[in-house]
Structure 1
Amino acid sequence: MADALISIVIPGRNEAANLPLLIDEIASAMSGRDFEIIIVDDGSTDDTAAVLAAQASTQPFPVRHIRHDKSSGQSLAVRSGIWAARGDIVATIDGDGQNDPQYIPVLVDALRNAGPDVAAAQGQRLKRRDSKAKQLASRFANWLRNAILHDETRDTGCGLKAVRTEVFRKIPFFDGTHRFVPALIIQEGYGVVHCDVVDRSRRHGKSNYGIFDRGLQGTADLVGVWWLRRRRRRMPKAREVTHG
């Protein structure tokens, strides 16, 4: 399975300045492996299209460009990438360069080594580069989420993940799914493993997310996921039994 295709999904909006270096770093990290890169352009208004056209014509691996006609948010961008993926495993990484691509093979290998009962490897950031206010808000949000959902994950907001494609496509998608992937994977009856990763500073541009809009939306999403888990039993694994 080491040479099986891995689909690397990058959601991003107006990240033209960050994408070329990020793609080069992914190429280095994934050297010797079979992979494709899927950039989901979430309604960008910068030079993303031209940058990706140049990348697609020069890179020796597939660089695919999925474009949203309007900005729909990170979770729905990830969803578009998952449904376009050709690999059995989807690895996600943010388009702003803060996630280090060297951890993609670490997450993929951790997922494969964990066995078929585990469907996701979740990155958990160390040495956060965000402002102190964002770090404190994130810590509180993660504590509250784990207290309610019991997903045993320290940092679900990290964009670095590796998930079995078939299972990833089963979870419900809404504007905020990317913050609750471990809980939703567990809801499907699978386990989650965790890998520590080191965060980096954004190279170019500015974040599309603020503290207060993220916090308010995250609280509403948390209530929704709690309700979903209360109303839906953990999914059993079903198989056909043949007789005779």
Structure 2
Amino acid sequence: MHYKFTIIVPVYNEEENLERVEQELLAYTKIATFPTKIMFVNDGSKDGSQLLIENICERHSNFSYIAFKENRGLSAAIKAGFDYAETELVGYIDSDLQTAPSDFNLLLEYIGDYDLVTGVRANRKDSFVKNMSSKIANGIRRTFTHDGMDDTGCPLKVIKTEYAKRIPMFKGLHRFLPAMILLQHGKVIQVPVQHFPRVAGTAKFGLWNRLLGPLMDCFAYLWMKKKYINYTVAKQSK
């Protein structure tokens, strides 16, 4: 089968969620807009996640994985997924499944005209503190990047792979994916998606990760924007 879309699933100590991840992503592949592959990126999990991932991939030919030697963070996991993807389109979803795989079809409706389509979580089911810290962090980030996005932390995105592979990722930059596509003169759009409470496992981000860390990352983004190399090839030998 010729696959067109790869969904990256970063995993860090999510053994309690992986059976549900398998079921829901397998169900999605049967209704997906395009033939779809699933790629787990195990970010140095210390629980039983790796064994579960290997068993899942043995059961399904369109599921694969890469496993880090040690924990390197969400941005590194997403970057590795971009690096190893071989399909025309790439997306990602968190393994906590607080967003619905079926909503990828909503995003894919727009990918022909845009280079990145990101979800924006409607009626978020998180705590007051988490919601408010994310809202503040998004406001700060918009002030720095002018990307026009309301919820760049939404773990449901689709990107044209040629753009994704050119993103110079660093730790924390997963929040700046729309801005990094804009640096490539790409087009971005946000689309409302469903959001659900976490039902298993524990959240990996605290107040520092959601608020103070992103503020520091904004200065890194400004440095990168100033130094970013962008070019267009006018002609090439045959």
The corresponding residue for 2:48 is: 47
1:174 shift after superposition: 0.6
Residue 40 of structure 2 aligns to a residue whose secondary structure is strand
Q: 2:35 is aligned with what amino acid? A: D
1:236 shift after superposition: 4.6
Instruction: Map Cα deviations across residues 9-48 of structure 1 (whole Å, 9 max, x no partner).
Output: 0011011221221222122223154111110000111111
The corresponding residue for 1:79 is: 79
Out of 228, 233, 240, the position equivalent to 2:235 is: 240
The corresponding residue for 2:103 is: 103
Q: 2:101 is aligned with what amino acid? A: P
Q: Are 1:208 and 2:204 matched, yes or no? A: yes
Out of 129, 137, 143, the position equivalent to 2:139 is: 143
The corresponding residue for 2:12 is: 13
Q: Are 1:67 and 2:70 matched, yes or no? A: no
1:213 shift after superposition: 3.6
Residue 110 of structure 1 aligns to a residue whose secondary structure is coil
Structure 1 residues not aligned, in runs of 5+: none
Residue 197 of structure 2 aligns to a residue whose secondary structure is coil
Q: Hey, what's the Cα distance between the residues in 2 that align with 1:69 and 1:210? A: 24
TM-score (norm 2): 0.92
Percent of paired sites with the same residue: 28
TM-score (norm 1): 0.90
Residue 154 of structure 1 aligns to a residue whose secondary structure is coil
Q: Which moved more, 1:102-111 or 1:41-50?
A: 102-111
Determine if contact 2:7/2:38 at 8 Å carries over to the other structure. Answer: yes
Q: Hey, what's the Cα distance between the residues in 2 that align with 1:20 and 1:151? A: 36
Q: Hey, what's the Cα distance between the residues in 2 that align with 1:103 and 1:240? A: 40
Determine if contact 1:93/1:161 at 8 Å carries over to the other structure. Answer: yes
Q: Which moved more, 1:50-59 or 1:148-157?
A: 50-59
Q: Hey, what's the Cα distance between the residues in 2 that align with 1:131 and 1:18? A: 20
Structure 2 residues not aligned, in runs of 5+: none
Q: Are 1:188 and 2:184 matched, yes or no? A: yes
Q: Hey, what's the Cα distance between the residues in 1 that align with 2:107 and 2:155? A: 12
1:63 shift after superposition: 1.4
Determine if contact 1:189/1:237 at 8 Å carries over to the other structure. Answer: no
1:241 shift after superposition: 6.9
Q: 2:149 is aligned with what amino acid? A: T
The corresponding residue for 1:121 is: 117
Determine if contact 1:52/1:63 at 8 Å carries over to the other structure. Answer: no
Q: Hey, what's the Cα distance between the residues in 2 that align with 1:69 and 1:241? A: 40
Q: 1:99 is aligned with what amino acid? A: T
Residue 101 of structure 2 aligns to a residue whose secondary structure is coil
Q: 2:22 is aligned with what amino acid? A: I
